[in-house]
A and B are shown apart, each in its own frame.
Chain A
Amino acid sequence: MHRIHILIAMDAHTISQGARSIKDAMSRELALAGLADEVRVVETGSLGIYDKGVVLVVFPDGVYYVGVKMEDVSEIISEHLIKGRIVERLHYLDIPTEEATMGDKSARIGKQVRVVLKNAGVIDPESIEEYIAHDGYEALGKALTEMKPEQVMEEVKASGMQGRGGAFFPTGVKWGFAAREKSDEKYIICNADEGEPGTFKDRLILEGDPHAVIEGMALAGFAVGAHQGYVYIRGEYRMSINRMQKAIEQARKHGLLGKNIFGSSFSFDLDIREGAGAYICGEETALIESIEGKRGEPRNKPPFPPSVGLWGKPTIVNNVETLANVPQIILKGAKWYRSMGTENSPGTKVFTMVGNINNPGLIEVPMGITLREIIYDIGHGIPEGKEFLLAQLGGTTGGILTREHLDLPLAVDSLRNAGAGMGSGALLVVDDSQCIVDLVKTFVEFFVHESCGICTLCREGNGRLLEILERMSDGKGKQDDLRLMEELANAMLRGAFCGLGQAAPIPILGCLRYFRSEFEQHLQGACRAGKCELHAENEAAA
């Protein structure tokens, strides 16, 4: 019997900090100490602690250690595991204990609620048994033995869950479109082409709990009548791909993918398709083109993929996080799901918090939480005593939120009124030492690089915007530039061919709206933050 379980977080970040060699050293030294039969070392997904080096937890004590180095391994073993003395030097106390539980399993950790991430950092993602131990595949079993496809769809519809990829379209309604279609073949695609800068939630979900996504896809397949699914993962996400591949093989071996699952007439299988790293392939029709082996360019819409998708067949494209929610909705019901979040935005949302923040990382919070709670309670505020300037929510195409929005509940409708959206779940926090013009320039450089070039407004619009911003930060801006930027941005917003070009101007317009005076300052030759080297003739005057 293993009386102690040591869970080591193995995600891209901790691996880069040497988590793998720590794990090997741990196993080696445990064997030397004669503890190999008493202590089990388990690889797990992200423990939600970022930027703190190698992270591990010792159970049953629930003690977290961070910044663990090779030389600490023997100390942890001899002090903690043998003598029961916590190594205070490495002890991480910022893990609030479980205060209350919602439903049965979803622990509430401080202001966080773990639904999608309930297994991340708890189970070994490469073990289907550990997923099953935490109610895994129970929802699929229930659906296939006790429910009709329409009931599964109705449950998801009733839950009010909206797609977590960024568009927040009601998932159940989307499924309904595909279910209505008469076709010999239908497809389920999981969009794991997470390309939004600052967003890494899908990667950590896939790395931490791949079976939840598989189960969600199988349930979607059952609801709409599809028998084949594809997980489209960007090629850079090596670890997500490997873990997903392993998970698919395990599920096949246990008969949870393949023919006649749970002895029913339903058959469903999955394959992985790797993306080559183009930002645009996260757009669902470009993604479909890419799976078909073509150049990743968006299609004309309508028709939408639920009617005409992959190889012309009805296709559902859902985000990783959306699919990972599905098993629990089926298992615990729509009512349970609606007990979290707000009336119009039920459930939780996974965010990745980056930028000028003390405690960056992966968090899951109920919808309707305020920016202030996220930044100051969970994120522990802005470092070095600086002030909050703005937050960009939803990646590079995300809207801009400022001090006046700190107490705005983060839900789809309230954000829409503020001209922002939740997007993919990246939260970039910016402090007051940053220059707005410099910041916007960084956004636009990204779009210039990622525009696929198919439509003029996006290709040329972003290029010209960058030109204007560059001359502004050189101190050579013209008085008419702000008007020109606004005109261009608005034209792109209305006229670009796909979501990329339409969304690119959103942060620019947001910054122009809230920080107009700072752009004007640049035109007069002054940069508040001192980031821009203003070489204009009027520099001396300023």
Chain B
Amino acid sequence: MKTLSDLRAIKEKAKKEMAAREQSAKYRIVVAMGTCGIAAGARTVMSAILDEISKRNIANAVVTQTGCLGFCDQEPLIQIIQTDKNVTTTYGKIDSETARKIIYEHVMNDRVVSNHVFMHQ
């Protein structure tokens, strides 16, 4: 390392790897992982989301999981929470393809994918 920009390159890379520990991410992506969710395919959805985020270099989102949301027939469900505005969008009947689309449209470009929205509050 010879310059400040060498240092900053290491910094940016390490920061990305540590993003999960930041409590200030703009989006929290919550995958419902109750028995119902898992049975309906939540694990594949989760893998697709993680893959999409890392492929697209998204740094302002964290992925977490929750239990049954009480709408088992709508599973797999995911919630996109915009933390600064405290707005929660719940998407239902997701597969890995729609999950990837939601990451691109909603998380990257702030556009709600309206035909999959189950609840918005």
Q: Which A residues are within 8 Å of any B CB, using their own CB?
A: 1-5, 7, 38, 40, 59-62, 81-85, 98, 122-123, 127, 129-130, 132-133, 135, 137-138, 141-142, 145, 254-256, 262-263
Q: In the bound complex, how far is the Cα of B30 from the Cα of A7, in angstroms? A: 21
Q: In the bound complex, how far is the Cα of B46 from the Cα of A279, in angstroms? A: 56
Q: Nearest CB to that of B25 among chain A residues?
A: A60
Whether B20 contacts A4 by the Cβ 8 Å rule is: yes
Whether B20 contacts A255 by the Cβ 8 Å rule is: no
The list of the 4 closest CB pairs from A to B, nearest first, reads A133-B14, A60-B62, A1-B54, A84-B65
Residues on B with C-beta less than 8 A from A2 are: 17, 20
Residues on B with C-beta less than 8 A from A255 are: 1-2
Whether A84 contacts B64 by the Cβ 8 Å rule is: yes
B42 to chain A, nearest CB (A): 10
Q: Nearest CB to that of B62 among chain A residues?
A: A60
Whether A262 contacts B3 by the Cβ 8 Å rule is: yes
Q: State whether A137 and B7 are in contact (beta carbons under 8 Å apart), knowing that A1-B50, A4-B64, A60-B62 are contacts in the complex.
A: yes
Instruction: Return the contact of B2 from the options A85, A138, A263 (Cβ within 8 A).
Output: A263
The 0/1 profile, CB within 8 Å of A marked 1, for residues 71-86 of chain B is 0000000000000000
Instruction: Return the contact of A262 from the options B1, B11, B38 (Cβ within 8 A).
Output: B1
Residues on A with C-beta less than 8 A from B2 are: 255, 262-263
Instruction: Return the contact of B11 from the options A61, A83, A85, A133 (Cβ within 8 A).
Output: A133
Whether A5 contacts B20 by the Cβ 8 Å rule is: yes
Q: In the bound complex, how far is the Cα of B18 from the Cα of A60, in angstroms? A: 10
Interface residues on B, range: 35 or more
Whether B28 contacts A38 by the Cβ 8 Å rule is: no
Residues on B with C-beta less than 8 A from A38 are: 46, 50
Q: In the bound complex, how far is the Cα of B62 from the Cα of A475, in angstroms? A: 67
Whether A81 contacts B65 by the Cβ 8 Å rule is: yes
Known: A61-B64, A82-B33. 8 other contacts (CB 8 A): A1-B51, A1-B53, A59-B21, A60-B25, A84-B67, A98-B23, A137-B7, A262-B4
Whether A254 contacts B33 by the Cβ 8 Å rule is: no
Instruction: Return the contact of B21 from the options A7, A85, A137, A254 (Cβ within 8 A).
Output: A7
B15 at the interface (CB under 8 A from A): yes
Instruction: Identify which of A4, A38, A132 gathers the most chain B CB atoms within 10 Å of its CB.
Output: A132
Whether A3 contacts B18 by the Cβ 8 Å rule is: no
Q: State whether A82 and B65 are in contact (beta carbons under 8 Å apart), knowing that A129-B14, A133-B18 are contacts in the complex.
A: yes
Whether A263 contacts B3 by the Cβ 8 Å rule is: yes
Whether B20 contacts A84 by the Cβ 8 Å rule is: no
A210 to chain B, nearest CB (A): 16
Q: In the bound complex, how far is the Cα of B7 from the Cα of A278, in angstroms? A: 40
Residues on A with C-beta less than 8 A from B32 are: 84
Whether A84 contacts B21 by the Cβ 8 Å rule is: no
B34 at the interface (CB under 8 A from A): yes
Whether A254 contacts B18 by the Cβ 8 Å rule is: no
Whether A84 contacts B4 by the Cβ 8 Å rule is: no
Q: Nearest CB to that of B18 among chain A residues?
A: A133
B108 at the interface (CB under 8 A from A): no
Q: Nearest CB to that of A144 among chain B residues?
A: B4
